[in-house]
Amino acid sequence: MSRDASITIPWGDGDFKFRLGWGELEELQEKTDAGPYVVLQRLHAGTWRVQDISNVIRMGLIGGGMAPDQAVKKVRYYVEQRPPMENVPHAIAVLSAGLMGAPDESLGKPRAPKRKTGKRSTTSRTGKSDLAPSTGPAQP
């Protein structure tokens, strides 16, 4: 998920970007005759309508950048010809991202990875040396 309300998830025949911006949420509201949060509650509670599922996914694909005619084809094939429960988790993920964004993103500077020093400990937990004893003269 990202702060622009988009989410990329595996669905159908690949990984797709879904986004429900303000315009898509307004159209979803018109198509489902319910506010977006009501639709989300219905999806969670199991009181959804089949149009809730198909419209969330279709509008999410369009908002994610897919052409409307392609989004309709994908929904007809991967939603309307499949058991509804198969797509409920996807619809929940898409609508949740559209309504809440992604609070887990870091807003600060990325942390630099810890550098390895390349030094090796010469003693183990038992206090004995990890290095094999030298059997010959020291090499310069």
Interatomic CA distance for residues 4 and 20, integer angstroms: 9
Count of domains forming the chain: 1
Q: Within a domain: residue 139? A: no
- What pLDDT score was predicted for residue 49? 96
Domain extent at residue 72: 6-100
Query: Full-prediction pTM beyond 0.75?
Result: no
Q: Within a domain: residue 57? A: yes
Is residue 115 pLDDT above 90, yes or no? no
Q: What is the pLDDT of residues 17-50, one digit of tens each?
A: 999 999 999 999 999 999 999 999 999 999 999 9
Work out the pLDDT band at 118, boundaries 50, 70, 90. low
- What pLDDT score was predicted for residue 7? 93
Q: Within a domain: residue 118? A: no
Q: Within a domain: residue 125? A: no
Q: Within a domain: residue 92? A: yes
Interatomic CA distance for residues 59 and 57, integer angstroms: 6
- What pLDDT score was predicted for residue 101? 77
Listing DSSP states for 37-85 in one string gives HHHHHHHHHT---HHHHHHHHHHHHHHTT--HHHHHHHHHHHTTTS-GG
Q: Which of 7-16, 56-65, 111-120 has the lowest mean pLDDT?
A: 111-120
